[in-house]
Amino acid sequence: MKGFLPRTLHPGLQILLLLGFMLIGACVGYALMFAWAQWGFGLSVGQVQGVAMNPTASPNGWGLLMMMQGVLLFVAGAGGALALASALGYGWAEYFNPRRLGAGWWLLGGALLIVVILPFMSVIIAWNAGAHFPGALHDFEVWARASEDRAAVLTKFLTNFNSGARFAVGVLVIALVPAVAEELVFRGVIQKNLVRWFSPHVGVWLGAAIFSAIHFQFFGFVPRFVLGLVLGYLYLWSGNILVSMGAHFTQNAVQLLILYLTQRGQFGWGFDPDSNDALPLTLVIPSVLLTAGLLFWLYRSMTAPAAPTQMLTIGSDGVRQAG
């Protein structure tokens, strides 16, 4: 495939170009959103803006916001990352999957890791939610908490699944689209280029920090950073974006499923999915041990030589490759 950019382009420039392609994608996404709103909901541009500002007051609020979120994230995020790969002259599989999927259980192993780590993550979530900034940043802390409280109200509105159809839409928009778009952007492009620019571990850690910071949730930064590390190393070790996508989707989908079952009164144990409280140590300690064991097993399995004569190294694409 022939592109109009050299493949040897500096990693920093590739990341900047990604932002440019994402901006173009956002413009296309907004055009599609307004066209869909007019055709599907019968709303003008001004009416769309009004509903977006106060979605709970409109009968179209839930559906419109779901459509807007899904279209914008997919077109800007996934579209921008795929456009960059094409501009560099890569096929999409070649750029994002420089290594073939070693085995189907890699996907299952990544998904299982996400489920097993949940109790441990609850401790990190509880600690981060209760964190306080230094006195000099008190005003910033007040603003940040107020911003997150407003975001929490919107999230609760969007995750009010009063029917199976709404839950299915939620899985598509809140679980699947972010798993695809965010992995292409943060692991497939940003981490890949940071690894090339610096080193494997620096690339993964910087990529995870950017992944967490871009969500602008200061009292959820640490757990999202840890999730970014897990997803980053899964991609580094496997060399296949499907592995981190599968794990990311599992993270989102499991939380939505628990929330849906709780809303229907079908999930017991006194668990509140909206709470930031840590789970009991009887769940946390096994979670820590199983997570450590699974990480070690996945690392050994994914980085094992594909053949007796082959060794796995960090290639110029920022992932482990057979050489």
**pLDDT for position 1:** 59
Residue 173 sits in the same domain as residue 270: yes
Tell me how far apart the alpha carbons of residues 301 and 38 are, in angstroms, rounded to a whole number: 51
Q: Which of 36, 70, 96 is the last residue of a domain?
A: 96
Residue 89 sits in the same domain as residue 105: no
Which residues in the chain come in under a pLDDT of 50? 309-310
Contact 248, 179 (CB under 8 A): yes
**pLDDT for position 173:** 97
Residue 54 sits in the same domain as residue 107: no
Determine the angle formed by the axes of helices 105-129 and 281-302, rounding to 10 degrees.
140
Tell me how far apart the alpha carbons of residues 190 and 12 are, in angstroms, rounded to a whole number: 9
Q: Which of 48, 63, 96 is the last residue of a domain?
A: 96
Q: Which of 96, 118, 141 is the last residue of a domain?
A: 96
What would the pLDDT profile of 40-55 be if each residue is shown by its tens digit? 888 898 888 888 888 8
Residue 38 sits in the same domain as residue 136: no
**pLDDT for position 304:** 87
Domain membership of residue 199 as a residue range: 100-322
**pLDDT for position 309:** 44
Task: Assess if residue 2 is contained within a domain.
Answer: no
- Number of structural domains in the chain: 2
Residue 108 sits in the same domain as residue 68: no
Tell me how far apart the alpha carbons of residues 268 and 191 are, in angstroms, rounded to a whole number: 39
Residue 221 sits in the same domain as residue 131: yes
Residue 79 sits in the same domain as residue 158: no
**pLDDT for position 27:** 97
